[in-house]
Structure 1
Amino acid sequence: MKKITVLWILLLLPYFVFANAETKSKEMCECLKKAKTSQTESDKKECLDLREKHVKALKKGSKQHEGYVKSLSTCEQELAGIPQVDPNLTTEEKTKVVCDCMKTANKQNRMGCFKLQSDYAKTISDLEEKKAFNINSQSCGE
């Protein structure tokens, strides 16, 4: 009976750990949304405190922390108005998305556009096509 209980714990542990990181990233995302709409310093400080608490709980550098950061990055991109990467787009469509981002982003959100450009470049396996994408998407941001 003890062996079965230990086996169940070992099988379910990764699920609970992942769920914990996902729950924390959703909690943090909600905090960031609230802070963005309210614009009060106390709400922003609350998010900083919450992030610090989450990083301690998830142990920075762990798989759970990596998942938390990845989920949070998606949330932050949404809040900044940066579109999500769609690897199924053609190279021309990817270039247009990056260029549109560069044209509409304010100075603060422009870094998100550069990240978008980098993420799209990673989805292109052909070296010549990737080179053309990088040249075309860089020239539209100038």
Structure 2
Amino acid sequence: MKKITLIWILFFLPYFVFANADTKSKEMCECLKKAKSSQAESDKKECLNLREKHVKALKKGSKQHEGYLKSLNQCEQELAGLPQVDPNLSTEEKTKLVCDCMKQATKQNRMGCFKLQSDYAKTISDSEEKKAFNLNSQSCGE
């Protein structure tokens, strides 16, 4: 009986662990949405406290924490009005998206465009292609 219980726990444990990270990222995303719409300092502080609590619970650097950050990154991009990063686009398409973002963004929102640029750069494995992308996408923001 103990072996069956142990097998059951080992089989379903990853599901519960990752579901926990997913639940926490959704909870954090809702907090960020609320803080963005209310603009109240107390709501922003609540999100900071919640994030700290989540990082402790998920053990920074763990697989669960990485999944949490990935889901949270998607939420933050959505809140900033940035398109989701599509690694399957050509380098030219990626450059155009970054340049369009730079042209349309106000000074306050340009940080989101730099993040978009960074995220797209991470999707390019060839070092020469990545270098060309960075140069081309940086020059369009000037």
Shared fold (TM-score, shorter chain, > 0.5): yes
The number of residue pairs the alignment matches comes to 142
1:1-142 alignment runs, 5 A limit? 1-142=1-142
Structure 2 residue identity aligned to 1:118: S
CA distance in 1, matches of 2:109, 2:54: 25
TM-score, length-normalised on structure 1?
0.90
List runs of 5+ in structure 2 lacking aligned partners. none
The offset of 1:115, in angstroms, is 2.2
The offset of 1:69, in angstroms, is 1.5
Runs of 4+ deviating beyond 6 Å: none
CA distance in 1, matches of 2:121, 2:36: 30
**Residue 132 and residue 61 in structure 1: after superposition, are their counterparts in 2 closer, same or farther (change >3 A)?**
closer
CA distance in 2, matches of 1:54, 1:99: 35
List runs of 5+ in structure 1 lacking aligned partners. none
Deviates more, 1:112-121 or 1:13-22: 112-121
CA distance in 1, matches of 2:51, 2:132: 39
What is the root-mean-square deviation of aligned Cα atoms in Å? 1.6
Structure 2 residue identity aligned to 1:68: Y
How many percent identity over aligned positions? 87
CA distance in 2, matches of 1:120, 1:67: 19
